[in-house]
Amino acid sequence: MKYLVSACLCGIKCRYDGGDNLIEEILALKESGQALAVCPELLGGLVCPRTPAELVQCGEEYRAYDQNGKNVDCQYRLGAEKTLAAARAFGAEKAILKAKSPSCGVGVIYDGTFSETLRKGNGITAQLLLDSGIQVVDEVAYLSELNEKGNGYA
């Protein structure tokens, strides 16, 4: 199977604070050629380091704003579109994305109050991939799948 993975999970220092979220098992997928690593926020034109952003409720919708109140929704949505295009070009059937991120989070993300409070929902990229028929899991779910399979790659 081919995967799209969050670049920060492969040790690429693209996180808002210039750090990464390296998971060796996910880096191994990239190094074997099974996975394409992308950072939607950088693809959307944001820089690293950058001011952290969350999805803030605006009426019935959620829009990406950074902690200084700057609207960065266009960059988030452009990054999601570019990530989907990259996933399709690579032939990825499944994405392994970083938990809780406003771009990559799956099922649970920060709630837009910048208080480390979580709510149910998906990041903008995760939602677009799901809507486009790509399986999406976060790194926690992927590692537990691996453990269940006795450490063979899923």
Binding region for ligand SF4 (CB under 6 A): 6-8, 14-15, 39-41, 98, 101, 103-104
For residues 8 and 136, which CB has a smaller minimum distance to ligand SF4 in the complex? 8
For residues 72 and 104, which CB has a smaller minimum distance to ligand SF4 in the complex? 104
Handedness of CA 48, 126, 85, 142 (dihedral sign): positive
Q: Is 21 exposed, middle or buried (0-12, 13-18, 19+ CB in 10 A)?
A: buried
Cis bond before residue 49 (omega within 30° of 0): yes
For residues 72 and 91, which CB has a smaller minimum distance to ligand SF4 in the complex? 72
Region of residue 19 (phi > 0: left; psi between -120 and 50: alpha; otherwise: beta): beta
Q: How far is the CB of 118 from ligand SF4 (least distance, A)?
A: 15
- If you ran DSSP here, which 8-state letter would residue 14 be given? -
Q: Strands 61-66 and 53-58: what pairing?
A: antiparallel
Q: How far is the CB of 100 from ligand SF4 (least distance, A)?
A: 8
For residues 101 and 127, which CB has a smaller minimum distance to ligand SF4 in the complex? 101
Q: How far is the CB of 79 from ligand SF4 (least distance, A)?
A: 7
Q: How far is the CB of 95 from ligand SF4 (least distance, A)?
A: 10
